[in-house]
A = this chain, B = another copy of it.
């Protein structure tokens, strides 16, 4: 039995982790931690889980997690870097779903996150947990930084083309649309139904904190400098991310060559589906899949890539479990396909 805990279990990602993990016969969630809701039953905040999940939220006491196999940290950025250092020496594996351990440079972190990094000593060790890119490193990791939701959709879309030199590393334009659950369980007026419904707005134009993790991961993979623009938009859906990417072809190529490249790049990836037509969010909602569609636009010599994920699953909790599976040597799909 795999003994786990979730720190920060009252947010949407934490709840989704709990929902997935509690359905597994081979996993026990021994602690469900959320200081703000300590003493409440999970089913009070998430009545959907009543009868299925009996657990109660508890305070964070690192020593109480001693000896667990895996601890998931689903805290806001800035909070994760306080909790993780208290955990890494006491539990076998830590998977952080926040942004605090995704970058190697604390300077870059501070630029995009707007506050100092107080656990920079762990940045080097942390493994960026995009399973389709770096399974072996995840296998060996003690601390995995689960990728951002936008980053997941952009990276899975770009890695094959960029790592194979099919597209230019400069001038990449990434537009993403996200459902509101991506903003977390929030009481901000601007996330109220009356403000979000029948509306769209871009936000953090040019300075979203997922930019550096996209860029540095691409650069590592491409072996050269990458420059890109990323504009996220909030749209009136609950779950899902739609990412549309324009990049310039570096070489003459055909639709079928690109399709072939992507298909073979992801041949052993159980959760990436290369589509022959345009992907749609509805096909991946409530799954750990990422669907990718590809269009060669002759007129502008560009490759247009569209990718879709469920932001709370492949973009957060599902990917974290996929990482856990890899870290523990289990089949990658365990508990992620019904």
Q: Chain B's nearest CB lies how many Å from the CB of A304? A: 6
Q: How far is the CB of A303 from chain B (nearest CB, A)?
A: 11
| Interchain nearest-CB distance for A15 vs B (Å) | 11
A236 near B197 (CB under 8 angstroms)?
A: yes
- Bound: A171/B227 CA distance, A: 15
List the B side residues contacting A23 at CB < 8 Å.
337-338
Identify which of residues 1-57 in chain A touch chain B, using a CB-to-CB cut-off of 8 Å.
12, 23, 47-48, 50-52
Q: For residue A275, which residue of chain B has the nearest CB?
A: B47
Contact residue among B189, B281, B285, B304 (Cβ-Cβ distance under 8 Å from A185): B189
Interface segment among A69-77, A83-91, A118-126, A198-206: the answer is A198-206
Cα A248 to Cα B282 in complex, Å, equals 34
B175:A185 contact, CB within 8 angstroms: no
Q: How far is the CA of A315 from the CA of B222 in the complex (A)?
A: 42
Binary interface encoding of chain A residues 194-228 relative to chain B, with 1 for a CB under 8 A from any of its CBs, else 0: 11111111110110000000000000000000011
CA distance A304 to B227 in the complex (A): 15
Chain B residue at minimal CB-CB distance from A188? B187
Report the bound CA distance from A238 to B239 in whole Å.
Answer: 14
In the assembled complex, which residues on chain B have CB atoms less than 8 Å from the CB atom of A12? 194
A297 within 8 A of B: yes
Flag whether A250 is at the interface (Cβ < 8 A). no
A31–B177 alpha-carbon span in the complex (Å): 38
Give 6 closest A-B pairs by Cβ, nearest first. A193-B196, A199-B282, A23-B338, A48-B283, A200-B242, A201-B280
